[in-house]
């Protein structure tokens, strides 16, 4: 079965092999060396001066960012399930916030966000909102918000963006990554890149397990406050080294090029892409028979794609583009979609999906 969901993604063999090694204790010089090296490589990837890893899924890092960085009043951007989550976390902690809401296919409007951000001291947004496969103009928003409100801390959920594309973090104070998305690991590790301003804002930190100040202090010393997900950090080290050996720029270019080819292929067989500005992490297809096609793909062609969430259930299917995906796999996925369209009586199969994809990939 091909796991073609936009998180969790398939775990390559070189990653799985790291789990066969002996367990090492986390309070040892051997682990310290790996942790420090992985934190440094992660900083290089985010272009931010500080990094911390948390043993949690991505949402844990979102929660940690909210409680430690929100200040007195937050602005949250909600264009999907994950944007909605910022508000839920604020509510759970009694943190004052206002929410700017957009349709799931609509990117946040820069001017609107800037206007709303004048009287807050933090802004929370997704780079890639996975619910609709949408890309927000986060770099531009961050830049403009800092011009009118330099004290505003900008938190960007990059869980389906880090490792997918090179993010300009010059105006971002906190960027969040998650292990099971573009980093091709099992779930359970969340990573945060932090600016000097974010470190200043958190002071002594808040919360207990998710006290970021405490974690930053420990991880600067090459250790962690609690038992870390050692196996995932060791594997993350191998993943980042692999991406570096390919060349980060080359990996990003390949991801962007594959995305372009996927979109062209899907459109060639009459499908429509849901978001106005698609994120590179996936292809989100608006399709009224989403559950039918997903069932055919899974049972007949061994392809597992994600559906829509919430009110988009049954109207959306989402194909992953994160990580290292071989062309032969993507070709099988696209060909299966074309075959399934024939089976559903929507369009006669003629091999266009693979033809268009491979032509684009050769460009």
Ligand X SMILES: *Cc1c(COP(=O)(O)O)cnc(C)c1O
Distance CA 209, CA 178 (A): 18
Of 10, 50, 116, 157, which lies in the binding site for ligand X, with binding defined by CB under 6 A? 157
Which CA distances in Å does 293 have to 84, 96, 104, 216?
28, 42, 22, 46
Asked if 57 interacts with ligand X (CB under 6 A), we say yes
**Are residues 35 and 222 in contact, defined by beta-carbon separation less than 8 angstroms?**
yes
Asked if 107 interacts with ligand X (CB under 6 A), we say no
**Are residues 126 and 132 in contact, defined by beta-carbon separation less than 8 angstroms?**
no
Asked if 357 interacts with ligand X (CB under 6 A), we say no
Tokens of 271: 């499908």
Of 18, 59, 106, 352, which lies in the binding site for ligand X, with binding defined by CB under 6 A? 59
Closer Cβ to ligand X, 6 or 31, answer by number:
6
Closer Cβ to ligand X, 89 or 353, answer by number:
89
Asked if 160 interacts with ligand X (CB under 6 A), we say yes
Which CA distances in Å does 12 have to 2, 15, 89, 139, 248?
12, 5, 33, 31, 17
Of 4, 9, 58, 340, which lies in the binding site for ligand X, with binding defined by CB under 6 A? 58
Tokens of 104: 């799931």
Closer Cβ to ligand X, 146 or 181, answer by number:
181
Closest residue to ligand X, based on beta-carbon distance: 58
Binding string, residues 172-211; x marks residues near ligand X by CB under 6 A = ------x--x------------------------------
Stretch that binds ligand X, among 51-59, 113-121, 244-252, 317-325 (CB under 6 A): 51-59
176: helix, strand or coil: strand
Question: Across-strand partners of 50?
Answer: 194
Number of residues in the chain: 363
Of 76, 130, 211, 237, which lies in the binding site for ligand X, with binding defined by CB under 6 A? 130
Half-sphere exposure of 293 (CA within 13 A, CB side): 32
Binding string, residues 233-272; x marks residues near ligand X by CB under 6 A = ----------------------------------------
Stretch that binds ligand X, among 56-64, 222-230, 311-319, 355-363 (CB under 6 A): 56-64
**Are residues 191 and 42 in contact, defined by beta-carbon separation less than 8 angstroms?**
yes
Q: How many residues bind ligand X (CB under 6 A)?
A: 13
């Amino acid at each position: 079965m091909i796991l073609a969901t936009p998180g969790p993604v398939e775990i390559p063999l070189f990653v799985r092999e790291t789990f066969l090694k002996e367990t090492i204790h986390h309070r040892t010089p051997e682990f310290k060396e790996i942790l420090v090296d992985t934190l440094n490589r992660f900083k290089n990837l985010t272009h931010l001066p500080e990094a911390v890893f948390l043993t949690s899924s991505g949402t844990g890092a979102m929660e940690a960012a909210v409680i430690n960085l929100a200040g007195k009043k937050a602005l949250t951007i909600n264009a999907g399930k994950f944007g909605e989550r910022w508000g839920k976390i604020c509510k759970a902690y009694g943190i004052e916030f206002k929410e700017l809401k957009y349709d799931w296919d609509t990117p946040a409007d820069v001017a609107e966000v800037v206007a709303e951000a004048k009287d807050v001291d933090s802004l929370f947004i997704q780079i890639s909102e996975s619910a609709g496969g949408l890309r927000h103009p986060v770099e531009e928003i961050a830049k403009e918000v800092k011009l009118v409100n330099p004290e505003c801390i900008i938190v960007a959920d990059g869980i389906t963006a880090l490792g997918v594309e090179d993010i300009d973090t010059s105006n971002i104070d906190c960027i969040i990554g998650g292990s099971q998305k573009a980093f091709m690991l099992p779930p359970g590790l969340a990573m945060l890149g932090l600016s000097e301003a974010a470190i200043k804002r958190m002071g002594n930190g808040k919360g207990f397990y998710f006290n970021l100040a405490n974690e930053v202090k420990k991880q600067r010393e090459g250790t962690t406050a609690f038992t870390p997900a050692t196996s995932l950090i060791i594997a993350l080290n191998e993943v980042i080294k692999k991406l570096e050996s390919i060349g980060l720029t080359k990996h990003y270019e390949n991801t962007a090029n594959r995305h372009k080819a996927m979109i062209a292929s899907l459109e060639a067989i009459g499908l429509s892409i849901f978001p106005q500005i698609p994120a590179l992490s996936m292809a989100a297809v608006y399709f009224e028979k989403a559950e039918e096609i997903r069932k055919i793909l899974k049972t007949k062609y061994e392809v597992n794609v994600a559906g829509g969430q919430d009110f988009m259930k049954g109207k959306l299917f989402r194909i992953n583009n994160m990580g290292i995906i071989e062309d032969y796999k993507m070709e099988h996925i696209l060909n299966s979609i074309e075959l399934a369209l024939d089976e559903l009586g929507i369009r006669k199969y003629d091999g266009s999906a693979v033809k268009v994809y491979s032509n684009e990939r050769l460009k």
